[in-house]
A = this chain, B = another copy of it.
Amino acid sequence: MSLPAASHLDSLETPSAVVDLDVLERNLARGAAYASKHGFVLRPHVKTHKSLFVAGEQLRLGARGLTCATPFEAEVMSSVCNDLLIAYPPAGTVGARRVAAIRPDVQLKVALDSPQVLEVLAAAAETAGRKIGVYVEIDVGMRRVGVTPGGDALALAQRIGKYRNLEFAGVAFYPGHIRGPIAAQDDELADLAALLNATLDAFDRAGLTPPTVSGGSTPTFWRTHELPRITEIRPGSYVYNDRESAGIGACTIDDCALTVLATVVSAAVPGQVVINAGTKALGREPVRGEHSGFGQLLGRPDVTVSRMSEEHGILDLSKTDWRPEIGERVRVVPNHVCIVTHLNDLIYGVRGDKVERSWPVDARGRGFKPIS
């Protein structure tokens, strides 16, 4: 059973994930134009959409390759792209073997930050009989993953040469510690630029100039060209955007392509109504700012999702005179869009009130094997 194309938005069940196709197309074009203008290789991160349809559009608009977080994402994306980066250390033999088993015609790169992962990856590559490129992940201040940018990074890069199935492909970093408004990043970007220059100079002196310097994050995305020696960018959220991106100025709220369509199911308690989008539809991601809730209504920025259960979202009506009817539909701009994608199997693409198409979240889940 399926719905006919050009169905009205009101024919959709709720809570469902709806993408405004005009906004998606504008976002895709803007990201591609930025990369092109500054001569960056565009390698979008698929974690935000996990979709072959959206990845296809990114590649059509000039993306050289794709970035993946998991082996399953890479397996799925290998059907449309033969140049993949897995930007996540495949620790442990089981995970490394799955990485090495990606289609052999894919130019595969892996970002990692330890000799231990280097070793299991080398063993898996040898068993699979393939070459794998290695990006050395450096920590530029987020303190999550990544080796210290100084001698440790260089030492790790030098170890790669020990393994005949691995080759040094570049340096990767993720400035996730810079999360403030775009206009207020000057000092942090200056520090980051100095760190990158010092690090890369040391690589040069050792005769190990990185073929690729891969960087960027959503908050710093549009200022990446101010950093030295970057050759590649890996934007994720820019396709859909979200409330967090809008809050830091990486986009406006009108650039948020994905909303959660929900229905008002109860108005029994005064001062609030309940919609059928809770944590299982929106996640529970925070956003900066006091009392900012877990999402805001499209077209009604003064109405936020103030509390949630798994299938219930409480809309706080204290800042509005609007009193929706039971059965009325609303669209929620989520705080963080990547988790919303992970919570859905199917995305509906709309123009205005018309549902034009749908696409599966192809790389949702992990593709694990059942027990026979």
Q: Footprint of B on A, CB under 8 Å?
A: 1-5, 7, 10-16, 47, 69-70, 88-95, 98, 113-114, 116-117, 120, 139, 143-148, 176, 263-269, 272, 274, 276, 279-280, 283-285, 307, 309-312, 314, 325-327, 329, 338-339, 342-346, 348, 355-358, 360, 365-366, 368-372
Chain B residue numbers with a CB within 8 Å of A143 are 269, 272
Q: Is the CB of A327 within 8 A of B92?
A: yes
Q: Is the CB of A358 within 8 A of B345?
A: no
- Beyond known contacts A70-B311, A91-B266, A113-B268: 7 more, CB 8 A cutoff: A7-B371, A12-B368, A14-B92, A69-B310, A116-B325, A343-B343, A346-B368
Q: Is the CB of B267 within 8 A of A5?
A: no
Q: Is the CB of A371 within 8 A of B358?
A: yes
Chain B nearest CB, measured from A179 CB (Å): 12
A13 vs B285: C-alpha distance in the bound complex, in angstroms? 26
A57 vs B206: C-alpha distance in the bound complex, in angstroms? 64
Chain B residue numbers with a CB within 8 Å of A280 are 339, 342
Interface centre among A16, A139, A329, A372 (most CB of B within 10 A): A372
Chain B residue numbers with a CB within 8 Å of A88 are 265, 276, 311
Chain B residue numbers with a CB within 8 Å of A113 are 266, 268
Q: Of all chain B residues, which has the CB nearest A91?
A: B265
A309 vs B348: C-alpha distance in the bound complex, in angstroms? 26
Chain B residue numbers with a CB within 8 Å of A325 are 116
Chain B nearest CB, measured from A286 CB (Å): 8
Q: Of all chain B residues, which has the CB nearest A96?
A: B327
Chain B residue numbers with a CB within 8 Å of A13 are 94-95, 98, 366, 368-369
Q: Is the CB of A326 within 8 A of B117?
A: yes
A16-B276 contact in complex given A327-B116, A343-B342, C-beta closer than 8 Å:
no
Q: Of all chain B residues, which has the CB nearest A2?
A: B372
Q: Is the CB of B91 within 8 A of A264?
A: yes
Chain B nearest CB, measured from A133 CB (Å): 19
Chain B residue numbers with a CB within 8 Å of A274 are 144-145
Chain B residue numbers with a CB within 8 Å of A339 are 279-280, 310
Interface centre among A7, A146, A276 (most CB of B within 10 A): A276
Chain B residue numbers with a CB within 8 Å of A5 are 371-372
Q: Is the CB of A269 within 8 A of B144?
A: yes
Q: Of all chain B residues, which has the CB nearest A5?
A: B371
Chain B residue numbers with a CB within 8 Å of A343 are 342-343
Q: Of all chain B residues, which has the CB nearest A143?
A: B269
